[in-house]
Chains A and B, each alone.
Chain A
């Protein structure tokens, strides 16, 4: 996606997020037990949902990569997992702030939901080093896809296990919108849509930037005669290699004086 599509997505994200903020602070009523502190959940829970969904989507994209052998799916999987990690850090920080306000502690080690989320985040924190450790781009993308699928399958299993085993210590205020009053449910759904759109927009920006960077590199190689192919002048990198024949062809045309 580029040009008009990216612009539309960006505008939609800004509009929905602004609407969500307005609803959170000026429309949704104060929760009876937690009061104003509960407003954190309108950002914390959507961040957590989008993060975990992103990890699963990364696994699905990796399946598509292994099925087709097309490097573009690997790039998409990489970007989605990368962005989910950033959103995961946001989830942990906002959750810790809520915990400090509500429980008086930044972190509670005997709370299964918190610890299981941290385990998932640490698991995915090894994704980048794994990629970086393998120099051959083909092997790197294959191994990374296998990791993404395995870890992606672990996410819903872990979520279900925690749900089934805990005594519901972690508040489920927004765990299911069915228990919420209408105004709170609407606010939560708009917030979720806003965070999901933000995730999609940032992923699209990242993908566009990486494609542009790969095309510029291909053009440089073609202009300077530094060799061809994804391995040429690449060195060790955790970022998936992209093949760009159109850019290389364009560079060759320029070199020929065309």
Chain B
């Protein structure tokens, strides 16, 4: 189908100014692509952070006796410290 569409389309005079026109349009699409990549990275950060927050909230819910303690403090207390028996 693509081949038949290409056959129907008029020939573009790419031999003259083709490289400049292609360059200009590639710049536009490169800018969009870079932006989409940055957005994807940001989205993955937010997703990771939300996962951490969900974990913290679940841990807080599972430990009712420590519900008023900050979660970071809880995490530190849960790690055994060597030499302080």
Does any Cβ of A come within 8 Å of B2's Cβ?
no
Query: Ordered nearest first, which 7 A-B pairs have the shortest CB separation?
Result: A101-B20, A37-B17, A225-B70, A94-B24, A40-B24, A36-B17, A254-B57
A40 adjacent to B46 (CB under 8 Å): no
Query: Is B57 a contact of A216 with CB atoms below 8 Å?
Result: no
A86 touches B21 (CB 8 A): no
Q: Say yes or no for B9: interface residue by CB 8 A criterion.
A: yes
Minimum Cβ distance to chain B for residue A85 (Å) = 11
B20 touches A97 (CB 8 A): yes
Q: Is B39 an interface residue (CB 8 A)?
A: yes
A36 in contact with B56 given A86-B31, A202-B35, A205-B39 (CB within 8 Å): no
Pairwise interchain contact B20-A223, C-beta atoms closer than 8 A: no
Contact (Cβ within 8 A) B24 A213:
no
| Cα A222 to Cα B56 with chains together (Å) | 11
A209 with B60: CB separation less than 8 A? no
**Given known contacts A26-B9, A94-B28, A209-B42, is B21 in contact with A40 (CB within 8 Å)?**
yes
Does A220 count as interface, using CB distance less than 8 angstroms?
Answer: yes
A89 → chain B, closest Cβ, in Å? 8
A257 CB–B CB distance under 8 Å: yes
Instruction: Kindly provide the distance from the CB of B44 to the nearest chain A CB, expressed in whole angstroms.
Output: 12
Closest to A44 in B: B24
Residues of B within 8 A of A55 (CB): none
What DSSP secondary structure best describes chain A's contact surface?
Answer: helix
Interface string of B58-85 (1 = CB under 8 A from A): 0011001001001110000000000000
Whole-angstrom distance between the alpha carbons of A25 and B21 in the complex? 10
Identify which of residues 44-65 in chain A touch chain B, using a CB-to-CB cut-off of 8 Å.
Answer: 44, 47
Instruction: Give B70's nearest chain A residue, CB to CB.
Output: A225
Residue pair A219, B16 in contact (C-beta under 8 Å): no
B53 CB to nearest A CB, Å? 6
Contacts A89-B31, A90-B31, A98-B24 aside, 11 further interface pairs with beta carbons under 8 A come to: A25-B12, A26-B9, A26-B10, A35-B17, A37-B21, A97-B20, A100-B20, A212-B46, A219-B53, A223-B60, A257-B67
Whether A39 sits at the interface, judged by CB under 8 Å, is yes
Tell me whether B16 and A35 are in contact (CB under 8 A): yes
A93 at the interface (CB under 8 A from B): yes
User: Which chain A residues numbered 78 to 133 have a C-beta less than 8 Å away from chain B?
Assistant: 86, 89-90, 93-94, 97-98, 100-101
